[in-house]
Structure 1
Amino acid sequence: MGLIKLREPSLKRSITWVQGTALTIGAVLGCGILVLPSITANNAGPASLLSWAIMSLLAFPIVLTIAYLAKIIPSAGGITAYVGHAFGTRTSTILSWIMLGSIPVGVPTIALTGAYYLNNLLPTNRWGTVCIAALILLTSLLLHVRGIDLSAKVSVAVICVIFTLLVTAVIVAFPHVKSSSFMPFVPHGWFSVGSASVVIFFSFVGWEMIPPLAEEFKRPERDITISLIIGAIVVSVLYLSISFVTVGTQAYGANKGVSSLSLLISKGWGRIGTVTTTLLALFITFSTVHANLAGFSRMVYAQARDGHFPRILAKIHPKYRTPISVLFVLGVIFTLILFIYGTVRPNLETLLKGPSVVFITSYIFTMLAALKIIRPLTVGWFMALISLLITVIILFFSGWAILYPLALAIIGGVYLFRTKIGGRL
């Protein structure tokens, strides 16, 4: 297992736009659809629908900007490559260190939500939930060692089933929607709408995990854009629909937990609906975990390959040509996060808020880079400007969580200084 330093694409090109769309939906659709409609309704009441609408609208300029950047800079480095192209490798390295606080924390949280859903079918204790989450993560890591070909094909079938289930959830719950459920509309004040948006933002991240797969798309200059746009449309419609029936049927509250999707299906199908939803929720969770690990592992690998992370992370499997060192380190981090959850048991919203602010910060970096790379006053340039303005506004509602990416940036700066990378870049 030697150190591989490649400047040209070395991964097999096998992903089509259909598979890319499935991976896109899988990367984004997951934890949000499982628990956040009820969490945000608890915090903001019916006004949480405004938060979902705002985030849905924000998704499109972000997606269009990322798609444009991926077309002109098809790199496994993803958004870190775009920032590096615009502002240099020092800034790219800092962003890379900030991004280390996203997937390593966010993915175990996603796995925990899927495991939590299983409690509706097979009640277990805290450590039982941790073990289920660990199994989900381990399965994904082992499959990634073998490559992404099989998972891309399976994702198409899985996403079709998930889409059918979610549409069914809306249909069976809609007759139970009551207009009185939307009053009062803003029970916790307008600030709660902004605060909920920060948490919801986590449901609309994952787009940046697709461009790092550019070296594995058959036609990245076309297929990445198609995959991102179709994915954004599907995800936005599903989120808004599920959120609407969650509030309209009052499938939330302190005595109902956070598993709003099971409650919605059970309104029409009873116990059978709950069993079906629970099992498919595990597929949703796995799909999200798997897609995010695919993009993130390659992003870290590309940065290590270029010398911005420790060189050990640039090692790839000699047979399967997958980023084996990155996957191993992620496994260690996932174990630590799950142990902390099992021991301390922080609530899911707390675990999600830090990675959410990291994604917000990374999008700000990306949009600033886009404004410099894209020709001024074009459609793409205006998309980047709109995305930048909205993400900056959302950042102001982050509260204490803003310290999280700041701390990661400081660590990255220290790494640059200690290794004297700054002087060589």
Structure 2
Amino acid sequence: MTPDPAHRGTLGVLQGTALTLAGVLGTGVIALPALAAHAAGPASLVAWAALLVVSVPLSATFAALGAKYPDGGGVATYARLAFGDHAATLVGWAFFLAIPIGAPVAAGFAASYVADAVGGGRTTEVLVTAGVIVVVAVMNWLGIQVSAGVQLGIAAVIAILLLVAIVVSLPRVDTGNLTPFLPHGWSGVGSAAALLVWAFAGWEIVSSLSAEYRDPARDIRRATAMTLGMVTVLYLGIAFTTVAVLSGHVSRAPLADLLAGALGGWARPVTTVVAVLLTVGAINTYFAGASRLGAALSLTGTMPAWLASDIRAGSRTPRHALSVVALGGLATTAVVAVLGRRTDATLLVTTGTFALVYVVGTAAAVKLLPGGWPRAAALVSLLASVVLVVLTGPAVLLPICTGLAGVLWSGKRRRAADRGRLQVPQGM
């Protein structure tokens, strides 16, 4: 998926920042402050702060990798360069197949806001979830330039509205809501951190878009730095006001509660718009990255050839891989609906995959990046990623099993190809 000189990337710093911001900020800001507060109370702020600190070396590590190795395979490419084909196949399969499983979770966060605003309960949530997935699939079908342009507008609107939510909520802060600070002990902080991995995933998927930049060596680092600054302000602001203003009355739509409490009930439809835009932006980034990852894996023979047949034919948009991701997301939505489960039922499985991907990606960075601060950042990121995997717990076993299945499949395919080459054609 690395473009040849005749096909330079089209993303600049602003578009790259918009895609990165959507991937990292994503849907976490509209739902996870509430989930983390339920898990740890006011001490959830410790988990937010800790993960923001971890994000500094983590973002620097993936920015350095993307700048040095611009390729659609992203983390799978880094794993192949550092550890060989088996490692690349394992992490590539796990990551690619996690996106369809995680898409309904992300879309479901926005769907809960829509249901809160217009009613309809579970039916509304399921329909909106499916609708968001379809819209994002169409955006990506039209190409990275179109989806990135839309993303830039979405990012500007989101940043402004989230800043408004923080500012209008600050006068209602009650420090009494910060006590008791540790209602569930430090184990609650660990549980909150495991949930919040979702909020800080995104640095890894943007690496799959590195080949789409006009100047990866320069622009990826700039886009990453701008994103990190904005994410820090917005995440800490929303997390703090959720705890200090709403206290124990946090619903599944905390952003709506904050704005409605400060500005009146008319603000709920506004937050619904914000939630939908955030969700579209986040899933857009993941679909763009995952489709390129799937095509890159196919080009190396570690996924079915059909996934990249359109790329081999000259297309710049991996529509076959995109179709698999989108249809997989719709199928997951349907299964969750039939089973009567909430749309966030697969949250921990998805965050477990992100944590696993971080471990492999940062371990590869330790080997691939030069000494000095890049390797130091990679080492710190690797240690933090291992902690995240431990906090995730058994949920990480599913992506490991998925990756091992990919290793077995690609190994069987390779052996069959080797036997075919050894056979002597008739008449020779």
1:292 aligned partner, one-letter code:
Y
CA distance in 1 between counterparts of 2:415 and 2:398 reads 23
Q: Which amino acid aligns with 1:231?
A: T
Which residue in 2 is equivalent to 1:24?
A: 20
Please tell me the residue identity of whatever aligns with 2:92.
S
Contact 1:416-1:422 at 8 Å conserved across structures = no
Q: Secondary structure at the match of 1:271?
A: coil
- Choose the corresponding residue for 1:162, options 152, 158, 161: 158
In the alignment, which of 347, 355, 361 is matched to residue 356 of structure 2? 361
1:265 aligns with 2:232: no
8 Å CA contact 1:46, 1:247 repeated in 2 = yes
Alignment of 1:6-405 (within 5 A): 8=4, 13-250=9-246, 253=249, 256-316=250-310, 321-347=316-342, 350-376=345-371, 378-405=372-399
CA contact (8 A) 2:2 2:70 kept: no
For residue 102 of structure 1, report the CA deviation from its aligned partner.
Answer: 2.5
Structure 1 counterpart of 2:288, one-letter code? A
Contact 1:145/1:320 (8 A) holds in 2? no
Per-residue deviation, 1:350: 3.7
Counterpart position of 2:425: none
Distance 1:71 1:246 in 2: 37
Task: Give distance in 1, aligned partners of 2:415 and 2:333.
Answer: 33
Counterpart Cα distance in 2 of 1:18 and 1:167 = 19
TM superposition shift of 1:399: 2.3
Instruction: Give the letter for the 2:325 counterpart.
Output: L
1:349–1:195 Cα change, 3 Å: farther
The residue type paired with residue 170 of structure 1 is I
RMSD of aligned alpha carbons: 2.0
Q: Distance in 1 between matches of 2:79 and 2:303?
A: 16
Structure 1 counterpart of 2:424: none
1:321, 1:132 → 2: CA distance?
30
Deviation of the 1:9 alpha carbon: 6.7
Q: 1:422 to 1:308 in 2, by over 3 A?
A: farther
Whole-angstrom CA distance in 2 between matches of 1:69 and 1:216? 14
Contact residue 61 and residue 383 of structure 1 kept, 8 A: yes
Alpha-carbon spacing, 1:319–1:72, altered in 2? closer, same or farther (3 Å): closer
CA deviation vs aligned residue, 1:340-363 (integer Å, no higher than 9, x gap): 221224345542111111111111
Distance 2:319 2:370 in 1: 38
- Report the Cα distance in structure 2 between the residues aligned to 1:150 and 1:142, rounded to whole angstroms: 10
Greater shift in the superposed pair: 169-178 or 40-49: 169-178
Q: Distance in 1 between matches of 2:272 and 2:248?
A: 17
Contact kept, 8 Å, 1:105 with 1:355, in 2: the verdict is yes
CA contact (8 A) 2:170 2:241 kept: yes
**Counterparts of 1:27 and 1:422, CA distance in 2:** 39
In structure 2, how many angstroms separate the alpha carbons of the residues matched to 1:8 and 1:345? 48
Deviation at residue 280 of structure 1 after TM alignment: 2.1
Q: Structure 1: any 5+ residue segments left out of the alignment? A: none
The alpha carbon displacement at 1:11 in A equals 5.3
How does the TM-score come out when normalised to structure 2? 0.93
TM-score (norm 1): 0.93
Aligned mates of 1:164, 1:248 — CA distance in 2: 21
Unaligned 5+ residue runs, structure 2? 419-428
Question: What is the rounded CA distance, in whole Å, between the counterparts of 1:394 and 1:302 in structure 2?
Answer: 27
Overall identity of the aligned pairs, in %: 30
Q: Does structure 1 conserve the Cα–Cα contact (< 8 Å) formed by 2:46 and 2:189?
A: yes
CA-CA distance at 1:216 after TM superposition? 1.9
CA contact (8 A) 1:68 1:380 kept: yes
CA change 1:163–1:7 in 2 (3 A) is closer
User: 1:356-392: per-residue Cα shift (whole Å, max 9, x none)?
Assistant: 111111111111111111234x101110111111111
**In 2: Cα distance, 1:38 partner to 1:352 partner:** 14
Question: Hey, what's the Cα distance between the residues in 2 that align with 1:73 and 1:104?
Answer: 26
> Which residue identity does 1:330 align to in structure 2?
V
Deviates more, 1:243-252 or 1:168-177: 243-252
- The aligned amino acid for 2:404 is I
